Amino acid sequence: MRREGSPWEGLGTVYVKELTDHISSIRMLVLEILIFLIAGAIVYFAIDSINQTTAEDPFVLLKLFTESRLAVFSLLAILSFMIPLMAIALGFDSVNSEHNRRTLSRILSQPIYRDALLAGKFLAALTTIAISLLLLWLLVVGLGIIRMGVPPNAEEVARSLAFMGVTLAYAGTWLALAILLSILTRSAATAVLVALGIWLFFTLIWPMLVPGIAATISPPDPRWALFGYQDPVTAQWAEWLRRISPNELFNGASIVLLAPDTRQVSQIVNLTQWQGAILGAPLPLTESLAIAWPQVVALFAGVIVLFVAGYVVFQRQEVRA
């Protein structure tokens, strides 16, 4: 049976309201201050380190994102760590708080479909993250120009913006997960705990588990170990398993975009990719994008799958508290 009327009716209204809520919320303010302080400090130290060591590099600006010699972590590592937190903070109570405040049935009795409410909330939170990322980008580029005195070239700008796009897709995955949890659980506290649990799992535990699981699925042939090598089959399994984690996908795609001489995401050497390569020579942006593409697509697929799961559950959910 087809329903009548547009699912987008009211989307703009919900979007504007949620965006206003996010931007004016204390929660968001705290997160932004945190990210900017950390990012500012890291970039500051990264610049020091670059000023001392780099002789000549055509992509000095991109180094700001990946440099980690003086600072403990690179900006990339910090983003891979902080972005999920930010997305979870914006999404974990998006639907269950409407239930708990008893506003849901009142809002849904207005002439809008549930589609508009859910999509509006998702897009508003994503926009909030996009605004923060844009500010962060400006901060990094600005600090780079002021402290290093090197204006960014077009390719650097393009690459760093592409990186911001990947970061947004990464944020979208976690946001869709947080919203899904906010639909599934009635209590916001449960949703945030589960979301943080999943985040911790992928950040800390999964990378430690992967070698063990891979070795169980495909026990390595001891002859490889004899020569100090990894069994390629086991290594391949480990790689597939690692890629379940959105963090891994994000890191893989980001490093390709930010370090132009990166020729492959995988840790397993693929000889055809190195054929005729000049070591250390940068790839053109389109080539880097082509290498990062599977990771980027996987992140987008994650966003879509998680959002659709939330959508289906939300459509069937009872509005009654």
Position among 53, 54, 105, 216 found at the interface with another protein (CB under 8 A)? 105
Please give the backbone phi and psi of residue 101, each rounded to the nearest 5 degrees, phi first: -80, -5
Question: Inter-axis angle of helices 114-148 and 285-316, to 10 degrees?
Answer: 150
Q: Are 210 and 166 in contact (CB under 8 A)?
A: no
**66 Cβ neighbours under 8 A, 6+ residues apart:** 74, 75, 76, 255, 258, 259
Rounded Cα distance, 260 and 265, in Å? 12
Q: Does 8 bind another protein (CB under 8 A)?
A: no
The tokens 């508009």 sit on which residue?
Answer: 116
| Residue 90 CB, nearest approach to another protein (Å) | 16
3-state helix, strand, coil in the chain (%, to 5): 75, 0, 25
Burial degree of 253 (CB within 10 A; 0-12, 13-18, 19+)? buried
Instruction: Give 1 or 271: the residue with its C-beta nearer to another protein.
Output: 1
Position among 103, 153, 270, 273 found at the interface with another protein (CB under 8 A)? 103
Position among 27, 69, 102, 186 found at the interface with another protein (CB under 8 A)? 102
Q: Single out the segment in contact with another protein by CB under 8 A; choices: 75-83, 97-105, 151-159, 258-266.
A: 97-105
Per-residue x/- marks for another protein, 12-41, CB under 8 A? -xx--x------------------------
Site for another protein in 109-148 (CB under 8 A): 109-113
Q: How many other CB atoms sit within 10 Å of the CB of residue 273? A: 11
Instruction: Give 89 or 258: the residue with its C-beta nearer to another protein.
Output: 89
| Residue 316 CB, nearest approach to another protein (Å) | 8
Between the CA of residue 84 and those of 92, 138, 182, 254, what are the distances in Å? 11, 21, 15, 15
Q: Are 43 and 143 in contact (CB under 8 A)?
A: yes
Q: Does 83 bind another protein (CB under 8 A)?
A: no
Instruction: Give 69 or 102: the residue with its C-beta nearer to another protein.
Output: 102
| Residue 311 CB, nearest approach to another protein (Å) | 16
Per-residue x/- marks for another protein, 300-319, CB under 8 A? ------------------xx
| Residue 117 CB, nearest approach to another protein (Å) | 9
Rounded Cα distance, 153 and 159, in Å? 10
Q: Considering CB under 8 A, how many residues would be counted as binding another protein?
A: 26
Instruction: Give 3 or 223: the residue with its C-beta nearer to another protein.
Output: 3
Rounded Cα distance, 64 and 68, in Å? 9
Q: How many other CB atoms sit within 10 Å of the CB of residue 178? A: 29
Instruction: Give 108 or 148: the residue with its C-beta nearer to another protein.
Output: 108
Q: Single out the segment in contact with another protein by CB under 8 A; choices: 42-50, 84-92, 96-104, 163-171.
A: 96-104
Q: Are 312 and 179 in contact (CB under 8 A)?
A: no
Instruction: Give 11 or 256: the residue with its C-beta nearer to another protein.
Output: 11
Q: Does 106 bind another protein (CB under 8 A)?
A: yes
Question: What does the binding site for another protein look like in residue numbers (CB under 8 A)?
Answer: 1-5, 9-10, 13-14, 17, 101-103, 105-113, 318-321
